[in-house]
Homo-oligomer: A and B are copies of this chain.
Amino acid sequence: MTQTNFSEDQSFLASLALAMVEKPRANLNELANAIGVSKATLYRFCRTRNELIERLTNYSSKVLIETIEDSLSDADPSIEALKRLADNLLTHSEFTLFFIHYWQSENPVIQALDQRWTTTLDSFFLRGQQAGLFRIDITAPALTELWISIIIGFIDAEGRGRVARAGLSTLIVTAFLQGTAVGVLSN
A residues contacting B by CB (< 8 A) are: 22, 24-25, 104, 132-139, 141-146, 148-150, 152-154, 156-157, 162-163, 171, 174-187
Task: Give chain B residues whose Cβ lies under 8 Å from the Cβ of A156.
Answer: 145, 149
A143 neighbours in B (Cβ, 8 Å) = 180
CB of A154 within 8 A of CB of B146, answer yes
Cβ–Cβ contact B154 & A152, under 8 A? no
Contacts of A25 in B (CB 8 A): 24-25
Q: B146, A175: Cβ atoms under 8 Å? A: yes
Q: Count chain B CB atoms within 10 A of each CB in A137, A144, A145, A157 and give the residue with the most.
A: A145
Given contacts A181-B133, A187-B182, contact A150 B146 (CB under 8 A): yes
23 contacts between A and B (CB under 8 A): A133-B182, A135-B181, A139-B163, A142-B171, A144-B162, A145-B154, A145-B162, A145-B163, A146-B153, A146-B175, A149-B149, A149-B153, A149-B157, A150-B153, A153-B153, A176-B179, A176-B180, A177-B180, A178-B186, A179-B186, A182-B186, A184-B186, A186-B186
How many Å lie between the Cα of A101 and that of B31 in the bound state? 18
A142 in complex: contacting residue of B24, B157, B187, CB < 8 Å: B157
| Known interface pairs A145-B154, A152-B153; 10 further A-B residue pairs with C-beta atoms within 8 A, sorted by A's residue number | A133-B181, A134-B182, A141-B157, A141-B162, A142-B154, A149-B152, A149-B156, A177-B181, A183-B187, A185-B185
In the complex, what distance in Å separates the CA atom of A184 from the CA atom of B142? 21
Nearest Cβ in chain B — how far from A99, in angstroms? 14
| The 3 residue pairs across chains A and B that have the minimum distance between CB atoms | A149-B153, A179-B179, A145-B157
Q: Shortest distance in angstroms between A85's beta carbon and chain B's nearest beta carbon? A: 14
